[in-house]
Amino acid sequence: MEKILLGTITGAFGLKGELKVLSDFEIPDKAFKINNQIYLNEEEHLITNVRFHKNKYLIQIDNIKDINLLKDYRNYKVYIKYSSLNLESHEYLLKDLIHLDVYNKEELIGKVTNVSLNKNNPLINVNNRFYIPLKSDFITNINIKDKKIIGKNLEELYEDNNT
């Protein structure tokens, strides 16, 4: 059972029993949903209400409406089971790209060794030697099931690194 980190509880909010979660999770609408099972550190809980407010997710767990019962959760990490995300065949997490084969059209050019985030878009690191932006200018298809990333016009990104 693989757990994915969603964020950190920064405190309680209001008197209604909501917890503030600071999160930069890449697909929040899949994770922060009513009836999703989450883990606060190792404790299992059910999201019974959720909303977004001032750059944080406000979640209510297990229908707890007493703020006094939630004070100890500050700084807890919030996790979800990967399988609970119910990703569709075209959806993936950036971490799912690691170890996929990368092709420039039909030519195998390497494997994804890491994924980095910059201000504009993610970059995949191929063979720890060069980066490819995850943009349609360079990537035509990502197939998690077949463990392949198909690109185009990648020569300019890796030719200088092959000499």
* Domain 3-85 listed as CATH 3.40.50.720: no
DSSP string, 56-119: EEEEEETT---GGGTGGGTT-EEEEEGGGG---TT---GGGGTT-EEEETTEEEEEEEEEEE-S
Tens-of-pLDDT digits for all 163 residues of the chain? Answer: 699 999 999 999 988 899 999 999 999 999 999 999 999 999 999 999 999 999 999 999 999 998 889 989 999 999 999 999 999 988 999 999 999 999 999 999 999 999 998 777 899 999 999 999 999 999 999 999 999 999 998 887 776 555 4
CATH class of 94-158: mainly beta
Q: Which 3 state secondary structure label does DSSP give 130?
A: strand
What CA–CA distance (Å, rounded) separates 12 from 163? 56
DSSP letter, residue 147: T
pLDDT of residue 26: 92
pLDDT of residue 8: 98
pLDDT of residue 163: 45
pLDDT of residue 60: 97
Domain boundaries defined on the chain: 3-85, 94-158
